[in-house]
Chains A and B, each alone.
Chain A
Amino acid sequence: MPHMDIMIAFVSFFALVASWLVLPHAPVRRAATDAPVEMPAGVVRAA
């Protein structure tokens, strides 16, 4: 089949892109200790 390599390349790339849309996000953890991270103290306001 002509251009089979290009077809497979397209499918592979779009499979990655699609996965980015649906992959869940892991709970936020601090990398060094792997401990859960809390919201910092202090008031925030919109700029």
Chain B
Amino acid sequence: MDKINAGDTAWVLASAALVMLMTPGLGFFYGGLVRRKNVLSTVMHSFFVLCLISVQWVLWGYSLAFGPDVKGWGFIGDLSWIGLRGVGVAPNADYAATIPHLAYMSFQTMFAVITPALITGAFAERKRFKAFVIFSLLWATLVYDPIAHWVWGHGGWLGKMGALDFAGGTVVHISSGVSALVAAWVLGPRIVHEDGEAGGPHDLTMVVLGASLLWFGWFGFNAGSALGANGLAAWAFVNTNTAAAMAALTWITVSWAHKGVPSVAGATAGAVAGLVAITPAAGYVTPAASIVIGLTVSLACYGVVQLRDRIKIDDALDVWAVHGIGGTVGAVLTGLFATKSINDAGNNGLFFGNPDQLRVQIVAVAATWAYSAVMTFVILKILTFFVALRVTEREEAMGLDLTQHSEAAYSM
């Protein structure tokens, strides 16, 4: 049996707790961005997913994602670990040799939780709660678990091909971002009032609080993915903070030049875009590269947000623009900037003499885009036979807090 390292175990468990906090933080981030009549339903999406996927993961999700590969195809894990059967204190050297297997599983739980929660921003303010619940369960099982296996599972086909995804650029952000676009398209746009009701963010202080919680938790997301209290965690920590800061500065500057004011909402969107893009790269690139990644992703995501109105798809909170595009930018730039001087277990990218890494990264991105889009569309279309995806026009006009939960966020 491999020897358990106390420092590594403490860091990974603490990181799992940090990542757990990101999901309620996401609820605050999204909650502040919607109209006040929908804030509770939006926060509830994230909180409910935290509960739902925590149980799904223990029962079968972890086994599908990280269990022994089925027939060596690299597509999905088998069910031999259902109910965490055989997952105990002894480390699993295929994943993390110095921490209890349970600690690794717990860390991965929080990634599985936040990914479907990210999608909820696309269908905010109009999705029926019942439909959201069933969709989240099916999506986690049929989309997240297989893609996690492709990239991180032992024997996964993208992992074997050499795809680099340190903490989830493809597995978490591209999968959720692309699925968000498809979900917003299938559900159709929100209803807009003509009676003078204010649209857009109802509480930007809540947005800043949520973004700050996300940034804080992201240190666990990325530095925790080193799976040890070591130098690689320090690299990932520095890169995470640097990219987020650079991306926020860039977004503020671009929006200032474009619209004449340094936007507060823009600052938070930029920070999140930077965090998304550095996620696949955090443990493979230098801090200088993280600055370039932060700059590039902000320019890309800001441009795509401006295009959103033209494509006529109401991705309510720009999940696709920030997570889908941000994750894609991060994954591709990892193929340029990765260097073995940071992480010997990784690989060199194009700028360090290995052009093939860029090809591998593009294959991983393309596969994740295609699979996420097709499966999300199929899940939603099948769901329509059993449950209405949207609330009625009347319920939407009244707000989801009252119609879905019979509660109101504010009494003043």
Contact = CB atoms under 8 A, between A and B. Distances in A.
Interface residues of A, number: 25
A42 B193 contact: yes
Interface in A21-47: 21, 26, 28-32, 37, 39-47
Interface in B359-412: 386-387, 393-395, 397-398, 402-403, 406-408, 411
Contact of B55 (A13, A20, A31, A42): A13
Interface in B113-155: 130, 133-134, 137
A45 B403 CA distance: 19
A28 B396 CA distance: 12
A44 B406 contact: no
B59 A9 contact: yes
Interface stretch (B90-98, B194-202, B247-255, B257-265): B194-202
A45 to B, nearest CB: 6
A15 interface: no
Given A28-B395, A28-B403, A29-B402, 4 more contacts: A9-B59, A37-B402, A45-B191, A47-B192
Contacts of B58: 9
Nearest to A40: B397
Contacts, number: 80
A44 B407 CA distance: 23
B133 A20 contact: yes
Contacts of A13: 55-56, 59
Interface residues of B, number: 35
Interface in B55-69: 55-56, 58-59
Contacts of B196: 42
Nearest to B410: A32
16 contacts: A17-B133, A20-B130, A21-B134, A21-B386, A26-B406, A29-B406, A30-B408, A40-B397, A42-B193, A42-B194, A42-B195, A43-B194, A44-B191, A44-B192, A45-B191, A47-B190
Contacts of A45: 191-192, 194
A40 B191 CA distance: 13
A32 B408 contact: yes
* Nearest 5 interchain pairs by C-beta: A42-B195, A6-B83, A47-B189, A47-B192, A31-B407
Contacts of A30: 402, 406, 408
